């Protein structure tokens, strides 16, 4: 596990093989079932797994994509055990990187990017600039093979420090991206793999110029006892794993002495 920590510190991210393939496939089948329900209402018959995910763009237009995405997002996040299964897929790695008492984002985000779709872009950014805590990490997981422009990019920690130290010169996301794009790291992540990265480092995506659709989840995790940004525990985050002593501590109340 020491190698995991060293790799994460050096790169700012970690790509790992998911061991719980049965649980991962369960999520994918559930999404397919929900998708089938959505398209049945529109009298559209879809092809079977796994081609459906790569070929979603054959069944839906960009203007209807967000409605479809939210339909799946809401159904999944209402599922009783979805959060717990998602966490379990990366539990060992999150424990090593963040600690063993964790809180997790309330709802897991779903991103779908059709080929040549410019409506789902996240220009180069760091989430801390938007009020997130620098102690958070993101667990990002694709439902299809992601590569080149179908994936996401991230800077090295060294490059990130350069742009942070020269922020007056590169005072917009567009300037930073233009100057750095030849040296950005494009992540190659297959279905069955996960990615954990620090959101402190500049990252983002571009228009998907590949011939197939991208599907990916992302969810933030942090140590329960690390500092919070604008997104607080009990609002944006909920505990996912607590030790018994912490549970007793949270529930402790001083005895009420009558005067």
Which tens digits make up the pLDDT trace of 177-196? Answer: 999 988 899 999 999 999 99
Q: What's the mean pLDDT in 95-100? A: 94
Q: Which residues, at least 6 apart from 45, have a Cβ–Cβ distance to it below 8 Å? A: 39
The pLDDT value recorded for residue 1 is 66
Q: Contact 155/184 with Cβ under 8 angstroms? A: yes
Of all residues in the chain, the percent with pLDDT exceeding 70 is 99
Q: Could you read off the pLDDT of 124-135 as tens digits, one per residue?
A: 999 998 899 999
Residue for token digits 């100057």? 179
Strand partners, 238: 104
The pLDDT value recorded for residue 120 is 80
Angle (nearest 5°) at CA 200 between 194 and 201: 75
Q: Contact 132/229 with Cβ under 8 angstroms? A: yes
Q: pTM value? A: 0.94
CA 1 – CA 243 distance, rounded (Å) = 21
Q: What's the mean pLDDT in 201-208? A: 95
DSSP helix, strand, coil percent of the chain (3-state; round to 5): 40, 20, 40
Give yes or no for residue 218 having a pLDDT over 80. Answer: yes
Grade residue 257 by pLDDT with cuts at 50, 70 and 90.
Answer: confident
Least confident of 97-101, 226-230, 249-253: 249-253
Strand partners, 101: none
Q: What's the mean pLDDT in 168-175? A: 89
Give yes or no for residue 60 having a pLDDT over 70. Answer: yes
Outline where 41-156 has alpha helix (H): 51-54, 62-78, 82-88, 91-98
Give yes or no for residue 28 having a pLDDT over 90. Answer: yes
Long-range CB pairs of 108-111, under 8 A, 24+ apart, other chains included: 108/76, 108/77, 108/82, 108/83, 108/217, 108/218, 108/219, 109/73, 109/217, 109/218, 109/219, 110/69, 110/72, 110/73, 110/76, 110/215, 110/216, 110/217, 111/69, 111/214, 111/215, 111/216, 111/217, 111/218
What are the distances in angstroms from CA 178 to CA 172, 183, 224?
10, 10, 37
Assess whether the previous peptide bond of 50 is cis (omega < 30° from 0): yes
Grade residue 221 by pLDDT with cuts at 50, 70 and 90.
Answer: very high
Question: Of 29, 124, 14, which is closest to residue 79 (Cα–Cα)?
Answer: 29
Mean pLDDT of the chain: 94
Angle (nearest 5°) at CA 69 between 206 and 209: 25
Q: Could you read off the pLDDT of 139-159 as tens digits, one per residue?
A: 999 999 999 999 999 999 999
């Amino acid at each position: 596990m020491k190698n995991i920590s060293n790799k994460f510190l050096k790169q700012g991210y970690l790509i790992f093989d998911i061991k719980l393939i049965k649980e991962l496939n369960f999520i994918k089948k559930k999404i397919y079932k929900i998708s089938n329900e959505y398209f049945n209402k529109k009298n559209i018959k879809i092809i079977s797994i796994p081609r459906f995910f790569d070929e979603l763009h054959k069944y839906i237009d960009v203007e209807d994509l967000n409605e479809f995405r939210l339909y799946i997002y809401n159904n999944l996040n209402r599922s009783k055990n979805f959060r717990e299964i998602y966490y379990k897929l990366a539990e060992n790695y999150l424990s090593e990187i963040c600690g063993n008492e964790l809180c997790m984002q309330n709802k897991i985000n779903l991103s779908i990017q059709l080929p040549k779709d410019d409506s789902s872009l996240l220009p180069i950014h760091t989430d801390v600039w938007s009020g997130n805590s620098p102690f958070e990490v993101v667990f990002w997981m694709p439902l299809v093979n992601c590569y080149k422009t179908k994936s996401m990019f991230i800077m090295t920690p060294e490059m990130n420090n350069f742009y942070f130290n020269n922020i007056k010169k590169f005072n917009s996301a567009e300037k930073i991206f233009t100057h750095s794009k030849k040296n950005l790291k494009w992540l190659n992540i297959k279905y069955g793999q996960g990615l954990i990265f620090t959101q402190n480092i500049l990252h983002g995506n571009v228009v998907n110029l590949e011939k197939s659709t991208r599907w990916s989840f992302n969810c933030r995790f942090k140590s329960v006892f690390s500092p919070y940004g604008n997104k607080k525990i009990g609002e944006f985050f909920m505990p996912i794993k607590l030790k018994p002593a912490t549970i007793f501590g949270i529930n402790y109340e001083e005895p009420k002495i009558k005067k």
